[in-house]
Amino acid sequence: MGIKAALPKYEIYFYNTVLCLAMFWAASWVLEVSSSNVNRKSFKTSVKPGWYYFGRRMDTADYEWMMWFSTFREHILFALSGHVLFAKICSMLAPQYRSLVYMAYGLLAVWTSMGWTYVTLILSHCILLYSISLVKIRWLCFATGLCTLATFKCEPFVSWQAEFVEGDFELRKVLFYGGCGFTTMRCISFALENCERKDGNYNILELLKYNFYLPFFYFGPIMTFDKFYVQVNRSDLTRKEREMWNIGLQGAIHLAVVVVVDVLFHFMYILTIPSDLKLLRHVSDWALVGLAYFNLVYDWVKAAVMFGVINTVSRLDHLDPPRPPKCITMLYVFAETHFDRGINDWLCKYVYDHLGGKHDNVVQELVASLCTFGVTILWLGPCEVVLIWAFFNCFGLNFELWMAKFFSLEPFSSFEVSISEATSRRIRAIFNTFNFWSIVLYNILALNSLDFAKLVAKRLLLKGFPITTVVAMFVTYCLVQVIKERERKQEKK
């Protein structure tokens, strides 16, 4: 009750106004800190000369962003353009063989970029998991897959396998871990789907087509094998009305976002400042809170653009890839907190939903979430920060269920029935406000550092109390109501 209830228009306008003013206020503080410390000694390694037109330095602290849209953009564009060209020619001349062309081009591209020994390593993992899948024992396939994934996260297996990559170029490490990690997840998906198949087995060629689809190979996202198999073997390649227009528009939007982000990097050093703890101790509370928020928004934008570019290419191939990630700052419940929708779909299908059932049993939910975050830890790589992040997110997910069970009892359930739906929504939003900042702090921990997360929490809850705490929570309450209103309108459509 009251979750998606409508509120008066003037109240929603008020929430939007407060939110916009708060964003501009926080941004002005971050801009002031960036401008006044541009020549700071600790900034020299990451704040470098930017575009000539601005005459300002630019924040280059994010290696992934610079790799995609600056340092290696020509290489990435060349590889993806070649894929699109050959895929289009094949779709016109021999559409029934397009999946084979995708595989052949992907193999050639991986061979060219990483060497034949790396291709051999990838093939050996594919053959191993394919062989295990023939036994059709689900737990054995999953255990083998996780052991294979662990070999890319633990020494001495990592160093030994890394020697299979030829050459010593800057992208070597990124491509090695990306290709190997995503290959393992795809192979597990294939093996588990093969276990579910009642009539015979899938051909190993189908696994190779699935794994060596170039747009997904190095950087994801992951599409589960059952979806990929159906879509890539679809014979009807006719497009919906205005589909090509939408694909082109999506590509133009991604290009515009890249330009806007690069422009903002000349004025707001949101990635470099959090690494300087001495400076952070002297900035205002609003600058610190703004940095925390903008870091999360930026990380979502980066993922949305990178996955968006890949998804645009895959849509040209008549595939329906996983949707872009949901912005972490648009989430106020742990049950919806996920960064990569591909990984999230994979984990839900094979672990979380498989073990958790309807997610209404406390014990089942605890087991399902522990196993899900256990796999996630292995996927991200076990370390102190990842373990702390996983613990708090797992606790938050289960705590929500415990609270839902508790407040469904008397007298709370009767109290909610007695009040209006709008009032119920407002009360829920108050609790969601604290949830929101829990999610923000836990994810700052993963994106930045433990020290930065502790500093933000201490300033927000202790040193800034009561003024900063109350104001920040009120603005967050307005944000939660804006999100709820957006969800309500989407549900009505």
The C-alpha atoms of residue 172 and residue 87 are separated, in whole angstroms, by 26
Mean pLDDT of 381-405: 90
Q: Say yes or no: 396 and 264 in one domain.
A: yes
Residue with more model confidence, 341 or 425:
425
Whether residue 287 lies inside any domain: the answer is yes
Which of the 8 DSSP states describes residue 334? G
pLDDT digits 0-9 by tens, 25-64: 999 999 999 999 988 888 988 988 888 777 888 999 988 8
Q: What is the mean pLDDT of the chain?
A: 89
59 sits in which H/E element:
strand 57-59
* pLDDT, tens only, 368-388: 999 999 999 999 888 888 999
Task: Tally the domains of the chain.
Answer: 2
> Cα separations (Å) of 76 from 26, 62, 69, 259, 306?
35, 17, 9, 17, 11
**Is residue 64 included in any domain, yes or no?**
no
Amino acid at 386: V
270 lies in the same domain as 395: yes
Q: Tell me: do 276 and 326 sit in the same domain.
A: yes
Angstrom distance (rounded) from CA 452 to CA 296:
13
Query: Do you know the residue count of the chain?
Result: 493
Q: Which of 116, 143, 115 is nearest to 128 (CA)?
A: 143
The domain of 339 spans: 9-50+255-299+314-492
Say how far apart CA 452 and CA 114 lie, in whole Å: 36
Tell whether 2 is covered by a domain: no
Left if phi > 0, otherwise alpha if psi is -120 to 50, otherwise beta: which for 2? left
Same domain, 43 and 75: no
Of 215, 491, 191, 232, nearest in space to 346 by CA: 191
Residue 228 is assigned to a structural domain of this protein: yes
Task: Answer yes or no: do 466 and 417 share one domain.
Answer: yes
Q: Choose the weakest-confidence range: 72-76, 308-312, 317-321.
A: 72-76
In a domain, 486, yes or no: yes
Domain boundary among 233, 264, 291: 233
126, 36: one domain: no
- Per residue in 209-250, pLDDT (tens digit) is 999 999 999 987 899 999 999 999 888 788 888 889 999 999
Is residue 37 in some structural domain? yes
In whole angstroms, give the CA distance from residue 114 to residue 218: 11
Please state the pTM of the whole predicted model.
0.91
Tell me which residue has tokens 């589960």. 224
CA distance readout (Å), 440 to 250, 374, 435: 28, 21, 9
pLDDT computed for residue 158 by the predictor: 80
* Same domain, yes or no: 44 and 126: no
- Do 350 and 439 belong together in one domain? yes
For 243-314, list the strands marked E by DSSP.
Answer: none
Q: d(Cα 7, Cα 272) in Å, to the nearest integer?
A: 40
Handedness of CA 381, 382, 385, 390 (dihedral sign): positive
